[in-house]
């Protein structure tokens, strides 16, 4: 076939030769990155390699005859039904699209042919301008004059992006099906073609339901053009997804292909964040050096502690030794530096795969009794209450709207007159409710909202708040607890310190807009909320608690791990004796189990539960029983090779 080729003869310019006497000069850098591919490297806080994106040389199909007939038919049916009839531009479709878009005052319909889409991939930036569109039409006509229809289809498939860092039909066939493109069957061809318009949306690894619907759409369009019998569409699709289901269960270590990946969850968090400011080509091949706040030692400790803890719980559930426990318990662990919000470790589940990513670290769930330290902090801050003050621990009843609310203590145990310190140690619900009633909702909501970053209007405006009916993510709760160590000052979580280009230039602010891929950008997956982008906040926020209040509360919270505390059994089980303070949390019917705690160097949270929050963990699976041991094993690993420190004492 006739060859098209490029040279990079000057910085910022590419020359494409389609005919002997014509040269196209285009300020588009994606192909330059391909020619000089250098993988992006993600480093931890000590400069150790966390991950390196793959920048493998693309695999190309060199002859149209090597493409399966069904692959070409699927592409034509999906993208351009009149492909073999026009000469690069379908003028009627283009005019219709312009009319619809003008009427709707937005771009709601496209009229590009396959040739125009190829011209866009080869010769233009992704900026949506009329100048680019006109140039695209000119390039499309030139392509049609120079190449055959099958050659155009081949180039299109060789240039296409199929998600997960995979470019080109040969690489896609090997990635998704473990075979060469020439060996693809009808259903496989339809699936790959269906991915092309929006790989972020239609990849079966990213969104199975949408991928299946898109697969049926491609097959139905093929049936309309008589490429396949209409009666066979449903059967072809059903049989394919039955076969594909086994491949979808294969564990993956990254959303994109990686050369090195020592910390899958941390690397995925960085990837999502970088996609806000960099194109995929830049991340895969641009030679970026991303300096993060993650600590590889802590990340490994977090991954190991959560994995082992979940394996033990699920084994017990499967064996039937735990009443009502159902296999499939998952979890999350987040650890921050409480002094500046640097994210040190992040784990989103029992093991990374396409359906088991960061969602749990970032999903808001009721936090149970983990909210109580903030109620006690607001009480101490008011000056009206002290840890040694006493309050009656007895059943409470509240009537409202003809109904009676009668919350109970855990295990329905009551202790009569107790100190506030003991009430927090034992997580006594009746005392927490009475204290919240005395202090008022507004001061407590103000503290939790400022510390966690949760909007005040998202909090319940009633006394159920004392039982943790507010929904927070592990990220938000770790951020909130950091305020106790940071002398009352909130922190903004962040995990990117700086970004360097391949020549050492500072690219922390992102790549130039002209080089960014506006069509894809960060739409693939949302960034992890609770991050501050690249770097900590420029100015320290206003304190929400006095330093003395924080020291006083920490001295009380240490008792949660002491002889009278709700986490005492976990401390004995794990042999935990490190200076730490924390709080257990359990929600109704054992649906969520939490442990949030701090040391002078860490603010860390463990959450356990089922992805379907309607499924309970099992009787007795409280935060102190199952989340606290994982937290303590993690913290013990953190301090195995570093010295512990004591908290500042009240009055110091």
Please tell me the total number of residues recorded for the chain in this structure: 652
- Predicted pLDDT of residue 357: 59
Weakest-pLDDT range from 60-69, 444-453, 461-470: 60-69
- Predicted pLDDT of residue 538: 53
Count the Cβ atoms, other than its own, within 10 Å of residue 306: 28
- 3-state SS track over 554-578: HHHHHHHHCCCCCCHHHHHHHCCCC
For 438-580, strand residue ranges (E) read 471-472, 496-500
Strands 496-500 and 49-53: unpaired
Q: Which of 133-142, 212-221, 256-265, 321-330 has the highest mean pLDDT?
A: 212-221
Helix (H) or strand (E) holding 593: strand 592-599
- Predicted pLDDT of residue 255: 62
- Predicted pLDDT of residue 508: 86
- Predicted pLDDT of residue 113: 86
Helix (H) or strand (E) holding 447: helix 441-452
| Contact yes or no for 564/294 (Cβ under 8 A) | no
Which has more pLDDT, 54 or 327?
327
CA 454 vs. chain centroid, Å, equals 18
Mean pLDDT in residue range 105-114: 61
CATH number listed for the domain at residues 57-248: 1.10.3810.10
Count the Cβ atoms, other than its own, within 10 Å of residue 235: 10
pLDDT bracket for residue 353 (50, 70, 90): low
| Pairwise CA distance, residues 72 & 157, whole Å | 9
Weakest-pLDDT range from 9-23, 414-428, 435-449: 9-23
pLDDT at 158 over 70: yes
Rg of the chain's alpha carbons, rounded to an integer? 29
Phi and psi, residue 115, nearest 5°? -65, -40
Strands 13-19 and 22-26: antiparallel
| Contact yes or no for 625/565 (Cβ under 8 A) | no
- Predicted pLDDT of residue 405: 92
Which has more pLDDT, 305 or 37?
305
Please report the sign of the dihedral spanned by the C-alpha atoms of residue 370, residue 371, residue 376, residue 382.
positive
| Contact yes or no for 275/25 (Cβ under 8 A) | no
Which has more pLDDT, 117 or 577?
577
| Contact yes or no for 471/365 (Cβ under 8 A) | yes
| Pairwise CA distance, residues 443 & 397, whole Å | 23
- Predicted pLDDT of residue 650: 83
| Residue 174, burial from CB neighbour count under 10 angstroms (0-12, 13-18, 19+) | middle
- Predicted pLDDT of residue 207: 86
| Pairwise CA distance, residues 151 & 157, whole Å | 10
- 3-state SS track over 232-299: HHHHHHHHHHHHHHHHHCCCCCCCCCEEEECCHHHHHHHHHHHCCCCCHHHHHHECCEEEECCCHHHH
Q: What is the pLDDT of residues 362-415, one digit of tens each?
A: 889 999 999 999 999 999 999 999 999 999 999 999 988 889 999 999 889 999
pLDDT at 261 over 80: yes
- Predicted pLDDT of residue 7: 34
Angle between helices 114-123 and 69-79 (to 10 degrees): 90
Interior angle at CA 621, CA 617 and CA 625, nearest 5: 145
Residue 648 carries which DSSP code?
Answer: P
Weakest-pLDDT range from 68-72, 140-144, 172-176, 558-562: 140-144
Closest-CA residue to 150 (of 121, 120, 196, 115): 115
- What is the percent of the chain where pLDDT is above 90? 55
| Pairwise CA distance, residues 135 & 27, whole Å | 13
| Pairwise CA distance, residues 294 & 344, whole Å | 4
Which has more pLDDT, 593 or 131?
593
pTM given for the model:
0.75
Is residue 641 helix, strand or coil?
coil
Token reading at 429: 């619900």
**Integer CA distances (angstroms), 61 to 167, 169, 177, in order:** 12, 8, 16
């Amino acid at each position: 076939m006739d060859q098209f080729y490029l040279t990079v003869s000057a910085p910022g310019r590419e020359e494409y030769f389609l005919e002997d006497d014509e040269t196209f000069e285009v300020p588009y850098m994606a192909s330059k990155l391909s020619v000089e591919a250098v993988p992006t490297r993600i480093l931890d806080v000590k400069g150790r390699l966390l991950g390196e994106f793959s920048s493998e040389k693309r695999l190309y199909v060199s002859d149209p005859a090597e493409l399966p007939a069904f692959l070409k038919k699927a592409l034509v049916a999906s993208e351009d039904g009149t492909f073999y009839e026009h000469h690069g531009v379908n003028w009627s479709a283009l005019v219709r699209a312009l009319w619809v878009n003008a009427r709707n005052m937005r771009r709601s319909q496209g009229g590009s042919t396959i040739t125009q889409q190829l011209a866009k991939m080869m010769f233009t930036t992704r900026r949506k301008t009329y100048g680019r569109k006109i140039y695209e039409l000119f390039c499309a006509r030139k392509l049609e004059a120079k190449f055959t229809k099958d050659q155009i289809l081949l180039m299109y498939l060789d240039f296409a992006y199929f998600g997960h860092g995979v470019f080109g039909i040969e690489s896609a066939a090997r990635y998704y099906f473990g075979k060469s493109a020439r060996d693809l069957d009808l259903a496989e061809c339809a699936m790959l073609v269906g991915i092309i318009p929006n790989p972020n949306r239609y990849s079966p690894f990213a969104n199975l339901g949408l991928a299946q619907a898109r697969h049926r759409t491609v097959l139905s369009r093929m049936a309309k053009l008589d490429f396949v019998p209409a009666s066979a569409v449903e059967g072809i699709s059903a049989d394919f997804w039955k076969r594909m289901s086994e491949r979808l269960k294969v564990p993956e270590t990254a959303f994109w292909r990686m050369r090195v990946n020592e910390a899958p969850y941390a690397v995925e968090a960085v990837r999502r964040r970088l996609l806000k400011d960099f194109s995929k080509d830049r991340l895969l091949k641009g030679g970026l050096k991303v300096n993060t706040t993650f600590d590889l030692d802590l990340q490994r400790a977090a991954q190991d502690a959560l994995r082992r803890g979940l394996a033990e719980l699920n084994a017990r559930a499967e064996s039937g030794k735990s009443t009502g426990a159902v296999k499939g318990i998952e979890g999350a662990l987040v650890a921050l530096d409480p002094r500046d919000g640097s994210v040190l470790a992040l784990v989103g589940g029992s093991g990374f795969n396409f359906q088991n990513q960061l969602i749990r670290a970032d999903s808001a769930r009721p936090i149970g009794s983990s909210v109580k330290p903030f109620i006690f902090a607001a009480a101490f801050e008011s000056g009206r209450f002290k840890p040694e003050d006493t309050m009656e621990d007895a059943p409470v009843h509240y009537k409202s709207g003809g109904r009676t609310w009668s919350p109970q203590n855990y295990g329905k145990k009551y202790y009569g007159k107790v100190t506030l310190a003991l009430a927090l140690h034992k997580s006594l619900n009746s005392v927490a409710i009475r204290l919240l009633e005395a202090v008022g909702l507004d001061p407590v909501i103000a503290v939790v909202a400022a510390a966690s970053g949760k909007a005040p209007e998202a909090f319940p405006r009633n006394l159920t708040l004392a039982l943790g009916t507010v929904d927070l993510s592990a990220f938000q709760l770790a951020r909130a607890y950091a305020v106790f160590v940071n002398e009352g000052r909130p922190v903004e979580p962040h995990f990117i310190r700086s970004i360097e280009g391949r020549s050492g230039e500072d690219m922390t602010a992102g790549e130039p807009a002209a080089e960014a891929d506006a069509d894809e950008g960060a739409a693939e997956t949302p960034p992890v909320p609770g991050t501050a982008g690249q770097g900590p906040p420029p100015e320290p926020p206003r304190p929400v608690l006095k330093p003395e209040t924080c020291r006083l509360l920490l001295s009380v919270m240490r008792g949660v791990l002491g002889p009278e505390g709700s986490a005492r059994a976990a401390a004995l089980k794990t042999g935990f004796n490190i200076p730490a303070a924390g709080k257990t949390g359990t929600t109704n019917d054992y649906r969520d189990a939490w442990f949030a705690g701090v040391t002078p160097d860490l603010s860390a949270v463990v959450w356990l539960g089922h992805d379907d929050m309607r499924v309970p963990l099992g009787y007795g699976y409280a935060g102190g029983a199952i989340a606290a041991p994982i937290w303590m094993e993690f913290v013990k690993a953190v301090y195995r090779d570093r010295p512990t420190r004591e908290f500042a004492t009240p009055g110091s």
